[in-house]
Amino acid sequence: MCSEIVIKELIRKGAEASLYSGNWFGKDVIFKRRFPKSYRINVLDKAIRQSRTVNEAKALIRVKNYGINVPIVYEIDRKTSTIIMKYIQGNKLKDLMISLNSNEKKDYFFEIGRFIARLHLNGHIHGDITTSNIIISPEKDIFIIDFGLHEYSDTIEDKSVDLHLLKRVLISTHGNDYKICFDAFQQGYIIEFPENKKPEAKQIIKNIDIIETRGRYVKKEDRL
């Protein structure tokens, strides 16, 4: 890489990709790189990594047009299956929860509900809505990150599964705050839908209970 592009340090190593901090032509950035998997045939592995990289980058570019705060994509390197995106200053919502009062939690989750509704209204499924994938900036802006499991779908089922993951995370990780946070989230989610589509929003939320009774979420979990 040329001197204008500098990779500094590993931030997180995941099963699917690794994140590095660095600089890109004077900007603080994150490099998200998908590395080869030795258990896959080389040609297939390369095609999968490139496809997932492009899918994620395009999703970030598109959803930003809906008024959702996500990292800006600066470059897509197909050869190395790398996305270069803006480094978002702030803290994971997961780490902030203990320091927030009830009203702050309600306000954040109400807005998060509106953001996710906007995704769903435009046919996007995030695939991994957790408090670890939500960044709160120093200015208290909400950023949705990590679209690595993003899909395109307009079905009630897939949208319900998306929300069900958040519900499970809140129960397991933030149990004491589960009710006030998920209630606020649902309120924001429903209010973002136009009047003629509010029945759909309510059906999506209602369908979460159905998913829980038949274990549909397990199939999604296998992909993580």
| Fold that domain 91-221 belongs to in CATH | Transferase(Phosphotransferase); domain 1 (1.10.510)
Q: Is 128 a catalytic residue?
A: yes
Q: Which CATH class is domain 5-86?
A: alpha beta
Sequence-distant (6+) residues with CB within 8 A of 99 are: none
Q: Residue 3: its pLDDT value, please?
A: 59
CA–CA separation, 25 vs 28, rounded Å?
A: 9
Q: Residue 215: its pLDDT value, please?
A: 63
Catalytic residue, from 77, 128, 141, 183: name it: 128
Sequence letter at residue 29? V
**What per-residue string of b and e applies to 32-64 under the rule 16 or more CB within 10 Å gives b?**
bbbeeeeeeeeeebbebbbebbebbbebbebbe
- What pTM does this model have? 0.90
Cβ proximity of 42 and 35 under 8 Å:
no
Q: pLDDT (tens digit, 0 to 9) for every residue of the chain, 224 residues total?
A: 455 888 889 998 888 899 999 999 999 999 999 999 888 899 999 999 999 999 999 999 999 999 999 999 999 999 999 999 999 999 999 999 999 999 999 999 999 999 999 999 999 999 999 999 999 999 999 999 999 999 999 999 999 999 999 999 999 999 999 999 999 999 999 999 999 999 999 999 999 999 988 764 444 444 33
- Nearest residue to 129 (alpha-carbon basis) of 99, 170, 72, 190: 170
- Nearest residue to 23 (alpha-carbon basis) of 90, 85, 89: 85
Q: Residue 60: its pLDDT value, please?
A: 97
Cβ proximity of 4 and 25 under 8 Å:
yes
Q: Where are the domains of the chain?
A: 5-86, 91-221
